[in-house]
Amino acid sequence: MSMFKKGEKKEMPAIASGSLSDIVFMLLFFFMVTTQMRETENKVVVRIPEASESVKLERKDLASYINIGAPIRRLQAQYGNEPRIQLNDSFKTVDDIRDFVAAERDSKSENDRAFMTVCIRADQDVRMGTITDVKQELRRCSALKIMYSARKGQ
């Protein structure tokens, strides 16, 4: 009386694929929640200066960014090496800042417009005259909450 018979072949059971779809959807949901999509493409090189004291911005959704720096390498043939002002995804002049601020205000809700902050991300080698011109134009269009991007010092 033996329990194992030598003559019979055993079949492999089928792989249970019922939970496979659950795992795939969990992974899909995880990556959808944790991935941050970049809103604008950086067209200028910005080496952020170092700061001795810094404060973290509480609500990034209320910030509008003005990037100032030299164009990236692939755009230097078209725009040159001089520092340029980037508003959203295009190069603009100081005169276009008023329209930019008005469009950014309109995109915010009525309650959040008073808390809108303009963040200036300027390269550490940009002349102060360019930044002063940007600040003067921001004053003219009543965008008085200005923040400068900087990295923490050692």
Residue 131 is part of a domain; what is its CATH number?
3.30.420.270
Strands (E), the chain: 44-45, 50-51, 63-71, 84-87, 90-92, 117-122, 146-148, 151-152
Residue range of the domain that includes 133: 44-152
pTM above 0.75, yes or no: no
Segment-wise mean pLDDT, segments of 10 residues, the chain, 154 residues: 64 80 91 81 90 87 93 93 93 95 94 93 95 96 93 82
pLDDT in the model for residue 57: 84
Q: Is residue 99 part of a domain?
A: yes
Q: Which two tokens stand for residue 93?
A: 């002049």
Considering its fold, how many domains does the chain have in total?
A: 1
Q: Is residue 12 part of a domain?
A: no
Q: Is residue 65 part of a domain?
A: yes
Q: Is residue 30 part of a domain?
A: no
pLDDT in the model for residue 2: 57
State the Cα–Cα distance between residues 137 and 139, nearest whole angstrom.
5
